[in-house]
Homo-oligomer: A and B are copies of this chain.
Amino acid sequence: MQFAGSHILSISQFERADVEQLFTVADAMRPYAHRERITRVLNGAILGSMFFEPSTRTRISFGSAFNLLGGEVRETTGFEHSAIAKGESLYDTARVLSGYSDIIVMRHPDDGSVSEFAAASRVPVINGGDGANEHPSQALLDLYTIRSELAGRQRALDGLRIAMVGDLRFGRTVHSLSKLLSLFQGLRISLVSPEALSMPEAVVETLREAGHEVLETDVLETGIADVDIVYSTRIQEERFASPEEADLYRGRFRLNQSVYTANCEPNTVIMHPLPRDSREGARELDIDLNDNPNLAIFRQSDNGVLVRMALFVLILDVADQVDQHSVPVNWYTERRF
């Protein structure tokens, strides 16, 4: 893929070399995200942050990433888009809004809407989530996190053993992540879900065609043994025939410290796309895991900033200028834990 000037609409655009290039640039963003230095490489650039559906963390993550590069953010948060209500087409919206910024990130409730918008946009567009369809930066930050966590264990993505747990049928993130995993070699993938929420056959096929070993189970303990990563997702009550059936599965898929200790390898990494449901009765990842150093869910959301910075500098073609526009940070930057 040629990043410069491209739209980022789907994880299917990415070859293995693209992912590796992106992750190398994301690594180079660490000193800026960790506030050792600041860079002003995008001083004067404007991000159009067009969220026609609310998503605070995705929106702020993209916006902060752009600010960390020195750019400005103009924003809409979806509750006010009167023009669409007045019958404006996505074509018109795109032609108009793309006159106001250098690059756009867009979230929209309708499948395919971001691609339709991008086709009419005069500036590059990043898909920040379009309904049940795609959310490519989430899949990329998930894979980047797996790579980072494994690197600390002297392991690489090839040969990865991963369990995906929960609602694998409707969960957009596990579908996209699976597509990315198909770019690598020799993986062993446990799919742990109630049968009613199992991974779509097409996704399983893609993984098998890539040469990966795939195990499907509805027993949590079986699925999470002998893996490097447990990727947990929410089980939503409304997906089941009855509350009783939902209760049954919730209880059986809850990962807490004692289940972890009894079944996982000592340094198995725990991930989750967030938000996790911490209400009594939900808790697919129990809060008693909060002190477990292998709980990587907040490193994962931090990595979102790095990956989004990398997307911006590659699309706007300034990756090799980031350092030369940088200076040390002059304010208090000590972080708690």
CA distance A48 to B73 in the complex (A): 14
A329 within 8 A of B: yes
CA distance A97 to B56 in the complex (A): 9
Instruction: List residues of A (82-132) whose CB comes within 8 Å of B's CBs.
Output: 82-83, 86-89, 91-93, 95-97, 99-102, 121-123
A13 within 8 A of B: no
Binary contact readout A245-287 vs B (1 if CB under 8 angstroms, 0 otherwise): 0000000000000000000000000000011111100100001
A41 within 8 A of B: yes
A330 within 8 A of B: yes
Q: CB-nearest residue of chain B relative to A33?
A: B99
Instruction: List residues of A (213-254) whose CB comes within 8 Å of B's CBs.
Output: 234
Residues in B with CB closer than 8 Å to A97 are 57, 60
Q: CB-nearest residue of chain B relative to A4?
A: B332
Partner of A92, one of B92, B274, B336: B274
Q: How many copies does the complex hold?
A: 3
CB contact under 8 A between A82 and B64, given known A70-B44, A123-B335? no
In angstroms, how far is the closest chain B Cβ from the Cβ of A329?
7
A12 within 8 A of B: no
Residues in B with CB closer than 8 Å to A89 are 278, 287
Please state if A78 and B80 are interface contacts (CB–CB under 8 Å).
yes
Partner-contacting stretch, out of A152-160, A184-192, A297-305:
A297-305
Residues in B with CB closer than 8 Å to A287 are 89, 91
Residues in B with CB closer than 8 Å to A337 are 122
Residues in B with CB closer than 8 Å to A122 are 335-337
27 CB contacts below 8 A, A to B, read A5-B332, A35-B102, A38-B44, A44-B68, A44-B70, A46-B64, A46-B67, A54-B80, A54-B81, A55-B82, A57-B96, A60-B74, A60-B100, A64-B74, A64-B101, A72-B73, A87-B278, A91-B287, A91-B290, A92-B276, A93-B275, A95-B298, A100-B305, A122-B335, A316-B331, A317-B331, A318-B330
